[in-house]
Homo-oligomer: A and B are copies of this chain.
């Protein structure tokens, strides 16, 4: 029973193909042959091209979220946990070329409005991480009192917008500078006792 493993192999092939050609230009045959099988067999694992694509993107987004979750797990201070989360999540695509290429070719993967977000369930998971941190900050008195749900949505929107500008529109480093400047300002807006950036942790 290594069907799951085989699926994963297909997804690894698919992300390469979709990264190179985009959803429309990529053919199911391309993916199948890259995965070392025929199209007919690929359909044994996936119902349709659309499902294959969605599973591929999902797989990438889940890894992203998991990577952030584990990056902040050991951090004790709630404000630092938030800060590191915001920076690491933002920088993630720098080291994940394939996913980044897929996103560049399909900007709608990042949607600002929940109802047109095909991957909203995954984003909800990412927002959960953020919401947890905000909640902990509020109950521990480190953060100002706030409507945590609305604040989560607000901050997540800002985060997604800058992802779009940096990676979908490829506006480069000036956007990153702006993001960091804005992040420090927002950290001050969250923390009751002020906030200053911790020293760089390579």
Query: Which A residues form the contact surface with B (CB < 8 A)?
Result: 112-113, 115-116, 144, 146-147, 150-151, 153-155, 157-158, 161-162, 164-165, 169, 171, 177-179, 181-182, 185-190
Contact = CB atoms under 8 A, between A and B. Distances in A.
Contacts of A113: 165, 169, 171
Most buried by B among A153, A154, A155, A171: A154
A102 to B, nearest CB: 20
A181 B169 CA distance: 28
Contact of A151 (B171, B181, B187): B181
Contacts of A165: 112-113, 157
Contacts of A115: 171
A39 to B, nearest CB: 37
Contacts of A181: 146-147, 150-151, 154
Q: Could you say how many copies of this chain the assembly holds?
A: 2
A189 B146 CA distance: 14
Chain A interface, >50% SS class:
helix
A175 to B, nearest CB: 9
B164 A178 contact: no
B189 A187 contact: yes
Contact of A188 (B162, B164, B182, B189): B189
A155 B182 contact: yes
23 contacts: A112-B161, A112-B164, A112-B169, A113-B169, A115-B171, A144-B185, A144-B188, A146-B181, A147-B181, A150-B177, A150-B178, A151-B182, A153-B178, A154-B185, A157-B162, A157-B178, A158-B158, A161-B161, A185-B189, A185-B190, A186-B186, A188-B189, A189-B189
Nearest to A185: B189
B189 A151 contact: no
Contacts of A186: 185-186, 189
A154 to B, nearest CB: 4
